[in-house]
Structure 1
């Protein structure tokens, strides 16, 4: 089911905008747990497609995604999604409260859902839509928005699964080296065991296609600090080596002078 959306200009006067469709539902206040807040942050910091500048990509965490122009109050709320080719700011100047597809005109390129107890069936497309009710999450991602890449991560088993849209249907994505590849963005998504915000565990993070980690701001700062320390040590070592060379040259000069004096005492001119 493919939608042909009217242009944003046609809809602006008649349909609710981002300001009318906030991201927080009063009936569902807050995040379900700390992990659901930290993990999307890590994805946000590491989502850096090399061919898209920071001003032409948008990422969101736990934000309402409004997808149906005919039912403007229907939405899904992905744990994390990334869009490329859209302004980082709403209409180039404001931060978003929601992502409204009939205004933006560009669907997310990748969505990540974090499994919670009781959400498995919905996340994996095993629930059925009811007549007169909103379509399921799987239907929205696959049929309506046609999101090219959809990933599901189970933090209880540290299992990552991916799906790639092929001919309008999601096909399981074969992971290599434990990573799901998104070549169109020059990125791969995989597991990393490390410390983030004081917690040591398996985290999901974006990497380069070759598996090289995309550094977090604090990691970049630490690397810069280590490089500065290394440069300082190398400079100090170079100074020590220079001083040692000077000392050796002085000793050699002294030895030569002693030898010359001995030769003169023996009646031999050392200059001949």
Structure 2
């Protein structure tokens, strides 16, 4: 049962959007968060969904201290776009997938408090990614809700996202299940764009060279006709 408490009859309640804490412990953790965010945003760009990173998730109306800030969360059936924070009772939807980019410093919270909370909120999948492999040897670990409890994911597949997940250095790689196509991170997208631009330029240069050669042949043929007359098959 989703843990949302009833509305209280009190004065207007303020729900902060920031606690002044840093986004991530290290560059590796920050990069893993941002690449996951951007890849999933691009993947779900045409869907009625939103992807948020390190923003407060409020789950009990009237109790602003009851909140959590998932590193990355995916919510379906809501208006696309960003939010300053996310209130379950206003949006009407619980996150379907949550990613925590974990470290030894957040291990206890990620393994106990957050896991239990996400289970109670009925988040369908919960993934932990340890980019440095400091406490998760395989770096990536997932849980899927079965009934009211989480069970380990053994095939690194995200059922709600219809993606296969893979450890690629210090980030998560995402692959479409229907085509096997990899979802490119921003750096890879920029490189692919550069390569495509270069291919087009080379193709344009080849076409221009072909046109020049054709023009030279036509000029040569015109000079031949001027000197010798029309060519004859006889």
TM-score bracket, shorter-length normalisation = 0.7 to 0.9
The structural deviation recorded for 1:147 is 0.6
In our comparison, the structure showing a higher alpha carbon Rg is 1
Task: Quote the residue 1:20 is aligned against.
Answer: 14
Q: Which of 200, 203, 206 is 1:237 aligned to?
A: 206
For the residues of structure 2 that align with 1:32 and 1:13, how far apart are their CA atoms? Answer: 36
For the residues of structure 2 that align with 1:98 and 1:51, how far apart are their CA atoms? Answer: 19
Name structure 2 gaps, 5 residues minimum. 225-231
For the residues of structure 1 that align with 2:217 and 2:197, how far apart are their CA atoms? Answer: 30
The structural deviation recorded for 1:174 is 1.8
Q: Secondary structure at the match of 2:17?
A: coil
The structural deviation recorded for 1:47 is 0.4
For the residues of structure 2 that align with 1:190 and 1:15, how far apart are their CA atoms? Answer: 48
Q: Structure 2 vs 1, CA of residues 226 and 53 (structure 1 numbering), >3 Å: closer, same or farther?
A: same
Q: Which of 153, 159, 163 is 2:143 aligned to?
A: 163
The structural deviation recorded for 1:51 is 6.6
The structural deviation recorded for 1:4 is 7.5
Name structure 1 gaps, 5 residues minimum. 90-94, 126-135, 194-201, 256-269
Task: Quote the residue 1:33 is aligned against.
Answer: 26
Q: Structure 2 vs 1, CA of residues 16 and 230 (structure 1 numbering), >3 Å: closer, same or farther?
A: farther
What does 1:2-17 correspond to in 2, within 5 Å? Answer: 2-3=1-2, 14=9
For the residues of structure 1 that align with 2:233 and 2:40, how far apart are their CA atoms? Answer: 74
Residues 1:96 and 2:83 aligned together = yes
Q: Secondary structure at the match of 2:18?
A: coil
Task: Quote the residue 1:110 is aligned against.
Answer: 97
Q: Structure 2 vs 1, CA of residues 5 and 67 (structure 1 numbering), >3 Å: closer, same or farther?
A: closer
Q: Deviations over 1:22-43 (max 9, x none)?
A: 13236x5664333333322111
Give the paired residue count.
227
Q: Structure 2 vs 1, CA of residues 153 and 109 (structure 1 numbering), >3 Å: closer, same or farther?
A: same
Check conservation: 2:31, 2:171, Cα contact below 8 A: no
For the residues of structure 2 that align with 1:53 and 1:250, how far apart are their CA atoms? Answer: 53
Q: Deviations over 1:15-65 (max 9, x none)?
A: 788x71213236x566433333332211111004757636x3222222222
Q: Which of 57, 66, 69 is 1:65 aligned to?
A: 57
The structural deviation recorded for 1:254 is 10
Q: Secondary structure at the match of 1:41?
A: helix
What does 1:138-217 correspond to in 2, within 5 Å? Answer: 138-142=115-119, 144-157=120-133, 159-175=139-155, 180-193=156-169, 202-209=170-177, 210-217=179-186
Check conservation: 1:57, 1:84, Cα contact below 8 A: yes
For the residues of structure 2 that align with 1:16 and 1:38, how far apart are their CA atoms? Answer: 40
Check conservation: 2:73, 2:97, Cα contact below 8 A: yes
For the residues of structure 1 that align with 2:203 and 2:124, how far apart are their CA atoms? Answer: 48
Q: Deviations over 1:92-123 (max 9, x none)?
A: xxx53322222222110111112222432332
Q: Secondary structure at the match of 1:86?
A: coil
TM-score (norm 1): 0.66
